[in-house]
């Protein structure tokens, strides 16, 4: 069974940074494209970015230049480094593999506020 567990969220001031983690199990992690999504307080789900097995990554417009996705294939873990956080980044952040059926994890809450 495929499982993903997100962690690392919290409360941060505007301009601050956080690093989120996504631990995956039940898949041959190194073979899969992995994605980050977020769900805003208004329940809008947005794609944050993706990372390929090779390490190539791409991002949504709001994330470009501020967020960086990386992965550790040896430890089945993906990361999301978020810098210069803004109040509009407040959301629950989720991760998911592409191309395989997998339940959504519980997500990790990120709150950006003064």
Q: 82 near 18, Cβ under 8 Å?
A: yes
Tell me the pLDDT tens digit for each residue of 8-51.
999 999 999 999 999 999 999 999 999 999 999 999 999 999 99
93 phi, psi to nearest 5 deg: -105, 135
Tell me the pLDDT tens digit for each residue of 32-41.
999 999 999 9
Q: So what's the pLDDT on residue 4?
A: 97
Q: Where are the alpha helices (H) located in the chain, listed in sequence order?
A: none
Q: So what's the pLDDT on residue 37?
A: 98
CB atoms within 10 A of CB 75: 11
Tell me the pLDDT tens digit for each residue of 52-103.
999 999 999 999 999 999 999 999 999 999 999 999 999 999 999 999 999 9
Which residues, other chains included, contact 75 with Cβ-Cβ below 8 Å and sequence gap of 6+?
23
């Amino acid at each position: 069974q495929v499982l993903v567990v997100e962690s690392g969220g919290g409360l941060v001031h505007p301009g601050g940074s956080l690093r989120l983690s996504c631990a995956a199990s039940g898949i041959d992690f190194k073979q899969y494209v992995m994605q980050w999504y977020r769900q805003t307080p208004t329940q809008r789900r947005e794609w944050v970015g993706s990372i390929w097995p090779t390490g190539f990554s791409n991002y949504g417009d709001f994330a470009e230049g501020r967020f960086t996705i990386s992965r550790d294939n040896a430890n089945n873990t993906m990361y999301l480094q978020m810098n210069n956080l803004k109040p509009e980044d407040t959301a629950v952040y989720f991760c998911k593999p592409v191309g395989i059926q997998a339940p959504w994890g519980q997500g990790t809450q990120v709150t950006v506020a003064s």
